[in-house]
Structure 1
Amino acid sequence: MFRCSTERMEDKIKTFSKFGDAGHGGITRYSLSPEALQARNEFVKRMEAIGAVIETDDMANMYATLPGTDPNAKRIVMGSHCDSVKNGGNYDGILGVMGAMEVLETVATEKISHKHPLTAMIWTNEEGSLYPPAMMSSGIVCHDVLPDEIAKNFEYDNMMSSKSVLDKTTTFGSQLANFKYKGKKENRLNVDKYKCMFELHIEQGPILEDANNDVGVVTCVLGMFNCRIKFYGQSDHAGTTPMHKRQDALYAASQALCYLHNEIDKLGNKELVYTTGEIVCHPCVHTVIPDFVEFSIDVRHEDQELLAKVYEIVRSLESKEWAKCKCEVQLAWKRDTVYFDKELVNFVKKSAEELNIPHQYINSGAGHDAQFVNYLMPTTMIFVVSKDGHSHCEQEYSTPEQCANGATVLLNAVLKADLED
């Protein structure tokens, strides 16, 4: 068994945390930004130093490859993303890039023999923070093999015209056109050139820490759906309209939200999670009764039948009256549970066992590029414990030792995959 270097991993964490340093212990590093360019330049510098060959595709995805002993063998790719949310942490996404770099550095310095070329990768615009949607590049690269209900959200031309949420005159396509690392379409990840993919990532939740485990052997990405629930009332003066005559859309929405919580909780499944994270209120004036309110509901679980039951509860809102207001339910997004390749999952599990690194099976409630790649080729993920379960915030933290453990499991799982034709 081979082990990655904690010292090298700590150095990478410190170095990459400078690119987009927000001044509070975390980073803001939007895709295609000057800060993202700094991170990519560092990636190139370190990978070229060990003899890796750098390629880029038309989405500015980056590939650093060490050749194997068989020039005809397909590549094994590892990677994640280097962009962040606003005021995010130093581990989400970039740990998968640093872990892939650490695997290649260990292979090069230890002169570990391998048949297949090994590739470290950076995906462009996974977060979608500045240019929605999330997982844009992997959605485009894997478009032709994605289920129809997902593929329709990742049409290439539409993505190129995706406008910045900060500057509505700037599009993703215009920024990409002038980006240093935009390359050729033929360099995209594809099944002709690549054998399989591994993605190392922080857990972004508390499950591993609560169980005193360092590594998660990821079996799947949970199925989910997202609905927009809209209420239509009537705007009137806040001081002159009697309460019994009002059609208050906000009051109606609040009743419906409480109803959803009560009815969904009756299903009694502790692993089911659902969230209302966005609300729109019109006209949002303190002297005016709201005439329109819209809120989101995001529901996630592995069991598709359970998700279907929850969806029926959500849909039932339309057939009820809510404070004299009309209700409309719109399905915005849906995906089935994505199960990772069993052989690769087993390689990860065996590697953690042989290394005596505390681990467990776990699923992913969050979406990742790996879930799209899984439709294209065999894929799996490895999680590293997150302190207090924090993520998408500046408190995000995993120790250098924990990160190195994740990279070590990745390295040995890759080497097991390398033995297969």
Structure 2
Amino acid sequence: MYTCDVKRMEDKIKTFSTFGDAGHGGITRYSLSPEAIMARNEFIKRMTAIHAEIVTDDMANMYATLPGSDPSAKRIVMASHCDSVKNGGNYDGILGVMGAMEVLETIAAEDIPHTHPVTAMIWTNEEGSLYPPAMMSSGVVCNDFLPTEIAKKFKQEDMLASKSVLDRTRTFGEALESSGFKGDKKNRLNPDDYKCMFELHIEQGPILEDAGNDVGVVTCVLGMFNYRIRFYGQSDHAGTTPMHKRQDALHAAAQALCYLHEEIDKLDRPELVYTTGEILCHPCVHTVIPDFVDFSIDVRHEDPAVRQKVLAIVKGLADREWAKCRCEVELAWARDTVYFDKELVSYVKEAAEQAGVKHQYINSGAGHDAQFVSYMLPTTMIFVVSKDGHSHCEPEYSSPEQCTNGATVMLNAVLKADAS
């Protein structure tokens, strides 16, 4: 049983939090931005110090590897991302990179024997904040193994053409070429050279904290669907059209949204989550009755039977009239629940037990690169408790001790995988 070093972890947290410091306790660190390049250079500096071999692939994913006693053995990789959302926190994504670095540093410092080469990896553009979509590079690298409906959305040529949401002109491909980190396609993560993958991440929710636990043994990434719900009415003057004559698309949408909450809540599934996060209204003028409203509905649950019950409610909206407006329901995208490798999950649980770290089984409601990798390699995740459940915001926080506990669990799970 080996233990990672809290002082080293604290130093990494402090250092990486300066790359993209937004001045309010968090960071803005878009993929391949100058701030992200600083984080990558720090990764190189620290991994070079322990004599890890560092390479990049054609999507600028980075790999730092310590050799094992068997040079022909497949590598064990620990991976996450160093990019953030706008005004994000200091832990989402980068904790997995810092944890992977800490595992390699502990192996090097304590000369821990291991058979397989062990790799710390940075995925490029997981957030997709500047160049959509999210999980871009893992979608490209794992493309041949993904379900068809997902794979077609991550064709490399389309990803390279993705335009910056800030200026709508610069492409991801241009940022990649100028980054200095574009490498060789042969260096990609692949099942011929790699045995399995672990990803350490903050929970991004309140479940662990509410239960008094420090580490989550992640079993799956929840299945989900996202639909667009549209209402078609008639624009007229706001001051001259009698109320009983109106076809107000926003009024219709408001009625339907309240109906959705009422009907979905009747299913009485506390673990079910659903969100309307985007609303479009036309013409969006204060003196004009809206003639068109479009809103999203995002639904997540492990059980496909539960998702189907919600879907029936969502689709049923189109069969009703809402404030004299027509309703249209269209699928945006969906995914099945992705289950992680049972053997790796058991290694994480055993490692947590042996380390005396309070833990529990948990699922992930958020998407991660690990879910795409799981189609290609045995994969699992480890969660670290998030204070007050905050994430994708500047108050995001996990203590150095909690982060180190997560790295310790990952280290010992990796050693179990190495011995298997």
TM-score, normalised with respect to structure 1: 0.99
- Deviation of 1:36 after TM superposition, in Å, equals 0.3
Q: Partner amino acid for 2:202?
A: I
- Deviation of 1:308 after TM superposition, in Å, equals 1.1
Structure 2: distance between partners of 1:297 and 1:124: 28
Partner of 1:67: 67
What's the secondary structure of 1:178's corresponding residue? helix
Partner of 2:124: 124
Deviations 1:214-255 (A, max 9, x none): 000000000000011111111111000111111100000000
Percent of paired sites with the same residue: 79
Q: Partner amino acid for 2:313?
A: I
Structure 1: distance between partners of 2:263 and 2:377: 39
Partner of 1:76: 76
Q: Partner amino acid for 2:204?
A: Q
Structure 1: distance between partners of 2:47 and 2:395: 29
Q: Partner amino acid for 2:321?
A: E
Structure 2: distance between partners of 1:311 and 1:174: 40
- Deviation of 1:177 after TM superposition, in Å, equals 1.5
Partner of 2:88: 88
Partner of 2:158: 158
Structure 2: distance between partners of 1:248 and 1:97: 50
Partner of 1:189: 189
- Deviation of 1:257 after TM superposition, in Å, equals 0.4
Structure 1: distance between partners of 2:158 and 2:410: 35
Partner of 1:294: 294
Q: Partner amino acid for 2:55?
A: E
Partner of 2:244: 244
Q: Partner amino acid for 1:377?
A: L
- Deviation of 1:307 after TM superposition, in Å, equals 0.4
Matched, 1:101 2:101: yes
Structure 1: distance between partners of 2:312 and 2:132: 28
Structure 2: distance between partners of 1:144 and 1:312: 32
- Deviation of 1:317 after TM superposition, in Å, equals 0.7
Q: Which moved more, 1:139-148 or 1:85-94?
A: 139-148
| RMSD (Å), alpha carbons | 0.5
Partner of 1:392: 392
1:174-213 → structure 2 map (5 Å cutoff): 174-213=174-213
| Runs (5+) with no aligned partner, structure 1 | none
Partner of 1:24: 24
Partner of 1:367: 367
Partner of 2:115: 115
What's the secondary structure of 1:157's corresponding residue? helix
Q: Partner amino acid for 1:259?
A: Y
| Runs (5+) with no aligned partner, structure 2 | none
What's the secondary structure of 1:287's corresponding residue? coil
Partner of 1:313: 313
- Deviation of 1:150 after TM superposition, in Å, equals 1.1
Matched, 1:350 2:350: yes
Q: Partner amino acid for 1:240?
A: T
- Deviation of 1:413 after TM superposition, in Å, equals 0.1
The structure 1 segments of at least 4 consecutive aligned residues displaced by more than 6 Å after TM superposition are none
Aligned length in residues:
420
Structure 2: distance between partners of 1:58 and 1:329: 39
- Deviation of 1:85 after TM superposition, in Å, equals 0.2
Deviations 1:26-59 (A, max 9, x none): 0000001000000000000000100000010000
Structure 1: distance between partners of 2:195 and 2:225: 31
Q: Which moved more, 1:22-31 or 1:146-155?
A: 146-155
Q: Partner amino acid for 2:73?
A: A
TM-score, normalised with respect to structure 2: 0.99
- Deviation of 1:410 after TM superposition, in Å, equals 0.3
What's the secondary structure of 2:191's corresponding residue? coil
Partner of 1:219: 219
